[in-house]
Amino acid sequence: MRSKKRSRVWLAALPLYLFTILFVAGPLIYMVVLSFMSKSDSWGIEAVFTLRNYERIGEPVYRECFVQSLKLAFTTTFLTGLIGYPFGYFMAKLSPSKKRLLLLLIMIPFWTSSLIRLYGWMIILQAKGVLYQTIRFLGFEIKPLKLLYSYPAVVVGMVYALLPFMMLAVYSSVDKMDWNLVEAARDLGASAAKAFWTVTFRLTLPGLLSGVILTFVPSMGLFFIADILGGNKIVLVGSLIQDQLTRGADWPFAAALSVVLMTITTLLLILYRRIANTGELEGIV
Amino acid sequence: MSETILELKGIRKAFDGVSVLNGIDLSIDSGEFITLLGSSGCGKTTTLRIVAGLEFPDEGSVILEGQDVTGKSPDKRDVNTVFQNYALFPHMTVAENVAYGLKLRKVPKAEQKKRVAEALELVQLAGYEKRRPAQLSGGQKQRVAIARALVNNPRVLLLDEPLGALDLQLRRQMQIELKRLQKRLGITFIYITHDQEEALNMSDRIAVMHGGVFEQIGTPDQIYDKPRTDYVAKFVGSANVICGTVLRKTGNSLAVAAENGTVFVKVGNEAEYLAGQEVRMAVRSEKLQICEADSEPTSKSRRQESREQEAAKQENEGRGDDSLKGFEQQCPKTTGIPCTVKEISFAGGMLRMAMETESGEELIASRHGIRPDQKVGDHVLVFWDPEAAVLVEKSSVEGANEK
Ligand SMILES: Nc1ncnc2c1ncn2[C@@H]1O[C@H](COP(=O)(O)OP(=O)(O)OP(=O)(O)O)[C@@H](O)[C@H]1O
Ligand SMILES: [Mg+2]
């Protein structure tokens, strides 16, 4: 009876297993295998085992690329959390009708391509762009801006692109918050700040943490923002991989870069889970 | 010992234009156990929240130990609350929950530990320190909530139905424990309950609340034996309330015409009543007596007549009119209200009989035993010992928000 039931469950899950094997595990294995092969001169791959691809990543140019990617991802995630948490928090405290309006406002930009929105940022950040005009209009005499094609511009673009995920993640956990608990804390003698820190923040941490993951993981790979807003000054692993795939036509090296990128991300996530794992976060992170 | 610790003066509160508290005045002595009793939605929790500082009154003031704390935040008041919905911190263990207040007060670690252990011992939850609220039953959560508030040894402890989720046995036990503890520590308790028995057993005073005001504040004896209004009589004593008009007063006995009958109420010797004056009587269901009405069908006018005679006789305290002999033997003291038996049921070894008067009012009688002498449809006369009835005022509130 029991085994029958179990087999039926297995059967129901079969499509899922197939899908996973075909579209997730398969490509991953292919990529790992590829990363140990060598490039042949004529646009191709030779099935000759080599560690050369991984050795190359150790070279300063490429190493620098990884460092820069990590730095940008951390900065982006940190700033996104810093802005997104309070935003999500206050949004959850609004009246239902205002909440709905705000949620809509957050969603609307997704109706246009992110590429187009990035060009919008270019118009704003240009030397004599919208930002410059606005500052001038407010009566400040400034030199044309040197913002575009700089690191800050890339950070702005990244934060802009990823902020909605953070806000929504925080919002959904603050929205579920039982405010009676804050009252209980206040009643037991906690100041407003203390009650926030010991109760509200602790209980909405899962939201913040999933926001962090939703921000950090993509920010390791969102190369086109850096390409567009950073000119060619900032080369991230993502764009490096893309470059190797297309112009460089070095698939094994691209695969090796991908493997390393994925490993770093995974390790960081595991580490993060360790730190954050306090029981009630299970199932979220 | 009896200095005032807490005073509520003219507290009013409305939510979204709907008034919930309509002028609450209450003065509580230090060390007193006062219970707020009232039906659901009458504003008990709101009153408590205003004392705790979780809600601010629209009007009126809260005076704690001689200081006006009306606008002060909860952490600035030496008051702790046991919440109706427990409000335990889900991310902390039982021990951490209980220690929360002590930690904020920077009580040394060793003492914290000792006091937490004591508090948990008291609510019979020693050994549950490491559990999380999610791993507790409703009753256990409730007891953790009690321990968490109690451990801080506040001047005033507010308890919002703290024993509501417990089974009868544990509830009895906790009632005794809480009462004992309250006496020993001298903490002032403001206690909310739906359970009249709990209120009557535990309280020094009871404030019966109805529609955002106090109908009556008094000792359990006063509330039970001398209800001021019909609402209190109904809610606390589950009494029958019968309206009538005064016929005459003789000595300390007041004859009242009510529901096509004449009944008697014992009143003070000095009290003056005018014939024709409207009065309300409250008689608890177990005090109602019942006898068979005349077995042979009598015309209404004859019944009326005999009642008049009966009333006259009552006045003279003399008995023995021939024309009423049979009736007399069954109903020795008073005439009664003619009723029809509508429903007979049993609950907890009690027989409960619902009857309807000729004008359609319902009267409930109850007594021990399970075998009814009457059956549904019988015509009966309902009467009572004049001492069993009290005169009550009409409640000034027309069942406001209550459900
Ligand atoms: N925050 C609020 N907003 C709007 N209405 C409220 C609010 N709090 C309470 N009320 C209303 O005030 C009235 C009194 O509520 P309260 O919680 O004081 O009742 P209660 O006497 O404690 O009832 P119960 O015995 O069911 O707990 C109710 O009608 C309730 O709907
Ligand atoms: Mg309540």
d(CA B150, CA B156): 10
Least confident residue range of A192-196, B149-153, B197-201, B312-316: B312-316
A199 to chain B, closest Cα gap in Å = 7
Furthest C-alpha separation in chain A: 82
Tens of pLDDT along B100-145? 999 999 999 999 999 999 999 988 899 999 999 999 998 899 999 9
Q: Which domains does chain B have, with CATH numbers?
A: 4-225 (3.40.50.300), 230-392 (2.40.50.140)
Centre of ligand 1 to C-alpha B45, Å, is 7
Q: How confident is the model at residue A7 (pLDDT cuts 50, 70, 90)?
A: confident
d(CA B223, CA A104): 57
pLDDT of residue A276: 67
Centre of ligand 2 to C-alpha B359, Å, is 37
Higher pLDDT, B293 or B354: B354
Query: Which of A180, A189, A278 comes nearest B87 by C-beta?
Result: A180
A79 to chain B, closest Cα gap in Å = 27
Average pLDDT over residues B324-344: 61
Least confident residue range of A137-146, B108-117, B166-175: A137-146
Q: Which residue of A has its CA nearest to B97?
A: A185
Higher pLDDT, A228 or B329: A228
pLDDT tops 90 at residue B57: yes
pLDDT tops 50 at residue B187: yes
pLDDT of residue A28: 92
Least confident residue range of A199-203, B22-26, B50-54, B251-255: B251-255
Please give the C-alpha separations between residue B39 and each of A155, A206, B16, B44, B46, in angstroms, as whole numbers.
Answer: 60, 40, 21, 9, 13
Tens of pLDDT along B271-282? 888 888 899 999
B101 to chain A, closest Cα gap in Å = 5
Higher pLDDT, A213 or B319: A213
Q: Are A230 and A122 in contact (CB under 8 A)?
A: no
- The closest of B103, B216, B215, B223 to B152, measured between CA atoms, is B103
Task: Show the tokens assigned to A121.
Answer: 């940022």
pLDDT tops 50 at residue B403: no
CATH topology for the A60-284 domain: MetI-like fold (1.10.3720)
- Which chain B residues are Cβ-neighbours of A183 within 8 angstroms? 54, 74, 83, 87
pLDDT of residue B401: 42
Q: How confident is the model at residue B334 (pLDDT cuts 50, 70, 90)?
A: very low
Centre of ligand 1 to C-alpha B196, Å, is 20
Query: Which of A187, A203, A279 comes nearest B54 by C-beta?
Result: A187
**Ligand 1 atom having least distance to the Cα of B16:** 4
B311 CB-contact burial (10 Å; exposed 0-12 / middle 13-18 / buried 19+): buried
Q: Is A121 helix (H, G, I), strand (E, B) or coil?
A: helix
Ligand 1 binding pocket, CB closer than 6 Å: B 15-16, 20, 38, 40-46, 84, 401
Least confident residue range of A76-85, A107-116, B36-45: A107-116
DSSP letter string, B96-118: HHHHHHHHHTT--HHHHHHHHHH
Tens of pLDDT along A105-135? 988 888 888 888 888 888 888 888 888 888 8
A276 to chain B, closest Cα gap in Å = 13
Q: How confident is the model at residue A285 (pLDDT cuts 50, 70, 90)?
A: very low
Least confident residue range of A136-145, B20-29, B289-298: B289-298
Mutation target vs B (from A188, A277, A278, A281; most B CBs, 10 A cutoff): A188
Q: Which residue of B has its CA nearest to A190?
A: B75
Tens of pLDDT along B200-240? 999 999 999 999 999 999 999 999 989 999 999 988 888 89
**Would the CB atoms of B83 and A184 count as touching at under 8 Å?**
yes
pLDDT of residue B65: 93
Share of chain B above pLDDT 90, in %: 52
pLDDT tops 50 at residue A279: no
Tens of pLDDT along B12-40? 999 999 999 999 999 999 999 999 999 89
| Maximum average pLDDT range among A14-23, A143-152, B99-108, B304-313 | B99-108
Least confident residue range of A225-234, B5-14, B61-70, B192-201: A225-234
pLDDT tops 80 at residue B318: no
pLDDT of residue A43: 61
pLDDT of residue B7: 95
What's the CA angle centered on A78, arms A73 and A82, to 5 degrees? 150
Strand partners, B213: B210
Give the rounded distance of the alpha carbon of B383 from its chain centre: 25
Least confident residue range of A28-42, A209-223, B328-342: B328-342
Centre of ligand 2 to C-alpha B209, Å, is 12
Q: Which residue of A has its CA nearest to B74?
A: A187
d(CA B268, CA B253): 8
Higher pLDDT, B292 or B94: B94
Sign of CA dihedral B28, B33, B37, B43: positive
Out of B13, B20, B82, B402, mutate this one to test ligand 1's pocket (max ligand atoms within 8 Å of CB): namely: B20
Q: Which residues of B touch A (CB under 8 A)?
A: 52-54, 73-75, 79-81, 83, 85, 87-91, 100-101, 104-105, 132, 148-149, 152
The domain locations on chain A are: 60-284
Q: How confident is the model at residue B249 (pLDDT cuts 50, 70, 90)?
A: confident
- The closest of A236, A262, A259, A244 to A39, measured between CA atoms, is A244
Furthest C-alpha separation in chain B: 86
pLDDT of residue A239: 87
d(CA B329, CA A30): 106
- The closest of B34, B125, B38 to B88, measured between CA atoms, is B125
Least confident residue range of A88-97, A209-218, B51-60, B316-325: B316-325
- The average confidence (pLDDT) of chain B is 85
pLDDT of residue B13: 96
Tens of pLDDT along B363-380? 999 888 767 778 888 888
Element spanning A45, H or E: strand A44-46
Share of chain A above pLDDT 70, in %: 94
DSSP letter string, B311-357: HHHHHHT----GGGHHHHHHS-S---EEEEEEEEEEETTEEEEEEEE
Higher pLDDT, B372 or A168: A168
Alpha helices in B238-299 (DSSP H): none
pLDDT of residue A278: 53
d(CA B88, CA B97): 7
pLDDT tops 70 at residue B159: yes
User: pTM for the whole thing?
Assistant: 0.79
